[in-house]
């Protein structure tokens, strides 16, 4: 079985560190989906503009290929110590490295030199990630607000308070500032790292953002243009 890449998504994340752990955690994040030449036919998108959300099925292209697979994984949110079954997680280390994300469809730019472009919000994908399918989100069947969420239910409230000095925040384009602050508030660190003295670096929208975390306070210490 083989899958064709129908498009690529372009986001503010050039590295995996800092990407939200789920889609729609940071609705301010913007992305553009550009189709490969074979799939730039506008007819394939007719009617999609009537939907507010879409499903993206995509390839974990940065996950190393392995000849064997492990039935157990260690989710970062569990501190990297507790194991759960791979099919009870969203780990990229799976028998088939396929991801699933729901994103808000903000608009379709129909006539561009690269064919139709989808403008989306809330994506949790690395820039350049291959998209292998797109499906419309159906509210009557896809939404289950009262469903249990396994170990994720334990970590619904893990947000941090973010302190970013105004002079540093002003280095970020104004339309991307809220997205950056929300990404930081969701604690980009791996669950097993908690040293208050450690300085973390996160690439975002062409900038390198450095920060420290003490208790529940994240302090931005430096922002440089990459």
Q: Given this model, what pLDDT does residue 63 score?
A: 79
- pLDDT score for 172: 97
DSSP 152-220: GGGGS----EEE--HHHHTTS-GGGHHHHHHHHHT--S-TT---TTPPEEEEETTEEEEEEEETTEEEE
User: Which residues does the chain have with pLDDT short of 70?
Assistant: 79-80, 153-157
Are 211 and 184 in contact, with CB atoms under 8 Å apart? Answer: yes
- What pLDDT does residue 211 have? 97
**pLDDT value of position 53:** 98
pLDDT of 157 reads 63
**Token digits of residue 34:** 């550009």
Decide: helix, strand or coil at residue 83.
coil
Residues 6+ apart with CB under 8 A from 136: 48, 51, 53, 54, 55
Residue 20: strand, helix, or coil: coil
Distance CA 184, CA 29 (A): 12
Radius of gyration of the chain (CA): 18
Return the closest-CA partner of residue 57 out of 125, 155, 144, 148: 125
Q: What is the pLDDT at residue 109?
A: 98
Q: Quote the pLDDT of residue 149.
A: 81
Residue 51 class from Cβ within 10 Å (0-12 exposed, 13-18 middle, 19+ buried)? middle
Q: Hey, what CATH topology would domain 157-225 get?
A: YaeB-like fold (3.30.2310)
pLDDT at 155: 61
141 backbone dihedrals φ, ψ, rounded to 5°: -125, -25
Q: Which helix (H) or strand (E) segment is 141 a member of?
A: helix 139-142
Instruction: Look up tokens 């990229």; give the residue.
Output: 92
Mean pLDDT score across all residues of the chain: 92
Distance CA(186)–CA(108), nearest Å, equals 29
Each domain of the chain, given as residue ranges in start order, spans 7-61+97-142, 157-225
Could you confirm whether domain 7-61+97-142 is CATH 3.40.50.150?
Answer: no
What are the b/e assignments for 75-103, b being 16+ CB within 10 Å? bebbeeeeeeebeebbbbebeebebebbb
Q: Which residue carries 């104004």 as its tokens?
A: 174
**Pair 92, 75: CB distance under 8 Å:** no
């Amino acid at each position: 079985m083989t899958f064709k890449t129908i498009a690529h998504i372009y986001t503010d994340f050039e590295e995996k560190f800092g990407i939200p752990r789920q889609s729609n955690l940071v609705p301010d994040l913007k992305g553009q989906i550009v189709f490969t030449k074979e799939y730039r036919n506008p007819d394939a998108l007719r009617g999609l503009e009537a939907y507010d959300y879409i499903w993206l099925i995509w390839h974990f292209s940065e996950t190393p290929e392995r000849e064997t697979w492990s039935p157990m994984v260690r989710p970062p949110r569990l501190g990297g110590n507790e194991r759960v079954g791979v099919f009870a997680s969203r780990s990229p280390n799976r028998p088939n490295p396929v991801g699933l994300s729901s994103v808000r469809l903000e608009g379709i730019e129909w006539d561009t030199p690269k064919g139709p472009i989808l403008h989306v919000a809330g994506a949790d994908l690395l820039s350049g990630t291959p998209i292998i399918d797109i499906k419309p989100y159906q509210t009557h069947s896809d939404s289950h607000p009262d469903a249990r969420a396994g170990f994720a239910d334990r970590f619904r409230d893990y947000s941090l308070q973010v302190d970013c000095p105004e002079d540093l925040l002003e280095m970020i384009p104004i339309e991307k500032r809220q997205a950056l602050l929300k990404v930081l508030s969701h604690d980009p660190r791996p669950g097993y790292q908690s040293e208050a003295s450690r300085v973390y670096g996160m690439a975002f929208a062409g900038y390198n953002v450095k920060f420290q975390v003490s208790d529940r306070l994240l302090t931005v210490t430096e922002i440089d243009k990459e």
